[in-house]
Amino acid sequence: MKHEKAKELFTEFLKNEKNRITPERFEVMESALDYEGHFGADDLYIVMKNLKSTVSRATVYKTLELLVKCELISKRNFGDNLTRYESNFKRQIHDHLICMDCGRIVEFVNPRLSKLPEQISNELGFVISSHSFNVFARCRDPKNCKYNK
Amino acid sequence: MKHEKAKELFTEFLKNEKNRITPERFEVMESALDYEGHFGADDLYIVMKNLKSTVSRATVYKTLELLVKCELISKRNFGDNLTRYESNFKRQIHDHLICMDCGRIVEFVNPRLSKLPEQISNELGFVISSHSFNVFARCRDPKNCKYNK
DNA sequence: ATTGCTGCAAAACGTTTGCACCTAT
DNA sequence: ATAGGTGCAAACGTTTTGCAGCAAT
């Protein structure tokens, strides 16, 4: 069965937070974890509609926020002001480089960064929750860059 | 006279990009550089309106983008999907920690971070333009935290 | 039985656009 | 003279909300 572990985690989270366990919420969870790459809430809604789901737009939006809270997905923002999400499930923590010419998004993992968010939080008197590190740059080699933003 | 150096830089930029030099653009520039802290485009428009400026909302929005391009101000995003700006003028490059309970934003400078965006860009075959590093955390000491988000 | 969740449509929000007029070049 | 900028209001796309009915507890 698919996303069995995620389903467990989400159920646990819903119970702890005194939220109800509904089939719609699991439907959204499944679709979100299945989505390849980054997606907007509305993108996910459309995909689900096309797959004949009856879940409403409002439920998709609300459930995505629940999934962020229980850390099954991450909320991203790449400088345009669109909210994007991506699955965390079975994925390493990573950061993003955005090409300012073509909009391409490159994911990277940098060990020099890994402890930094926690250290900074501690130094400032906070407890870390998450971080977002975006590098905005341009393709060095223009023929790799489609300028198709 | 106020912001004389900024005015020079902006004029130079407008000429290079073959944009016209208009009084409205300088009015927006002055107000943006005067603004204390982070502000949305609409916040700035309201402030200007209150100061009896006749500059239109459209011009404010468009001019802010020009000011970002010429690096007099920075565009920020703190996880809500609101575009915020802040003046770069006479300021050090810094990053932000956002308290997820009260929404407080703490600015910090970390030397371990300073070369990282450029190094990462180089390694991935890009030329650095800018970066954004946000740490999302919670006040360790609840009495410092107003939970007033 | 109660409270919270859902679906729907409408509203809200920040932002962008189309257009006629104006102004810097 | 002309390309580009401005102000206005309307349009836009995404997200949130109010409400009646429904379903999980």
Task: Note the pLDDT tens digit of each residue in B101-138.
Answer: 888 999 999 999 999 999 999 999 999 999 999 999 99
Q: What is the token pair recorded at A60? A: 């998709």
Block residue for tokens 């400032």: A124
Q: Do B97 and A126 touch (CB under 8 A)?
A: yes
Instruction: Say whether both A22 and A73 belong to one domain.
Output: yes
pLDDT higher than threshold 60 for residue B148: no
Instruction: Say whether both B77 and B45 belong to one domain.
Output: yes
Instruction: Say whether both B104 and B81 belong to one domain.
Output: no
Instruction: Say whether both A14 and A69 belong to one domain.
Output: yes
pTM of the model: 0.91
- A50 φ/ψ angles, rounded to the nearest 5 degrees: -65, -30
Which residues in A have their CB inside 8 Å of a CB on B?
A: 75, 77, 79, 81-83, 97, 99-100, 106, 108, 110, 112-113, 116-117, 120-121, 124-141, 144
Q: What is the token pair recorded at B62? A: 């468009």
Classified as helix, coil or strand, A65 is: helix
**What percent of chain B lies above the pLDDT cut of 70?**
97
Which ranges of chain A would DSSP assign to H, the alpha helix? 4-16, 23-34, 41-50, 57-69, 116-124
The pLDDT value recorded for residue B123 is 96
The pLDDT value recorded for residue A146 is 65
Instruction: Say whether both B75 and B16 belong to one domain.
Output: yes
Contact B64, B44 (CB under 8 A): yes
What CATH number is given to the structural domain containing B120?
A: 3.30.1490.190
Identity of the amino acid at B125: G
The pLDDT value recorded for residue A148 is 44
Closest in A81, A134, A137 to B127, CB measured: A137
The Cα B31–Cα A52 span in angstroms is: 51
Segment A4-48, tens digit of pLDDT: 999 999 999 999 999 999 999 999 999 999 999 999 999 999 999
Could you tell me the residue range of the domain that residue B101 belongs to? Answer: 95-148
What CATH number is given to the structural domain containing A66?
A: 1.10.10.10
The Cα B107–Cα B95 span in angstroms is: 6
Contact A64, A24 (CB under 8 A): no
Closest in B106, B129, B132 to A138, CB measured: B129
Instruction: Say whether both B57 and B110 belong to one domain.
Output: no
Instruction: Say whether both A138 and A69 belong to one domain.
Output: no
Phi-psi category of residue A137: left, alpha or beta, with phi > 0 → left and psi -120 to 50 → alpha: beta
The Cα B88–Cα B114 span in angstroms is: 16
The pLDDT value recorded for residue A139 is 92
pLDDT higher than threshold 50 for residue A113: yes
**Helix/strand/coil percentages in chain B, nearest 5:** 40, 20, 40
The pLDDT value recorded for residue A81 is 82
CA angle A42, B44, B79 (to 5 degrees): 35
Please give the distance of CA A35 from its chain centroid, rounded to a whole number: 10
Report the nucleotide nearest the CA of residue A20, measured to C1'.
D24
Domain boundary among A45, A65, A87: A87
pLDDT higher than threshold 80 for residue B147: no
Instruction: Say whether both B136 and B63 belong to one domain.
Output: no
Classified as helix, coil or strand, A83 is: coil
pLDDT higher than threshold 90 for residue B142: no
Q: Do B120 and A100 touch (CB under 8 A)?
A: no
Of the pLDDT bands very low, low, confident and very high (cuts 50, 70, 90), residue A145 is confident
Domain count, chain A: 2
| Strand C and A24 CB separated by under 7 Å | yes
The Cα A46–Cα A128 span in angstroms is: 34
Which ranges of chain B would DSSP assign to H, the alpha helix? 4-16, 23-34, 41-50, 57-69, 116-124
The Cα A69–Cα A92 span in angstroms is: 18
The pLDDT value recorded for residue B149 is 37
The Cα A73–Cα A90 span in angstroms is: 11
Q: What is the token pair recorded at A2? A: 């698919």
The Cα B135–Cα B74 span in angstroms is: 18
Instruction: Say whether both B15 and B83 belong to one domain.
Output: yes
Range scoring the smallest mean pLDDT among A38-42, A74-78, B16-20, B79-83: B79-83
**What percent of chain A lies above the pLDDT cut of 70?**
97
Q: Which residues of A touch B116 (CB under 8 A)?
A: 110, 112-113
Q: Do A135 and B125 touch (CB under 8 A)?
A: no
Minimal CA separation from A72 to chain B, in Å: 17
Domain boundary among B50, B65, B87: B87
Instruction: Say whether both A33 and A74 belong to one domain.
Output: yes
Instruction: Say whether both B83 and B101 belong to one domain.
Output: no
Domain boundary among A87, A106, A140: A87
Classified as helix, coil or strand, A16 is: helix
Of the pLDDT bands very low, low, confident and very high (cuts 50, 70, 90), residue B146 is low
Instruction: Say whether both B102 and B35 belong to one domain.
Output: no
Q: Which residues of B touch A140 (CB under 8 A)?
A: 125-127
End-to-end CA distance of chain B: 39
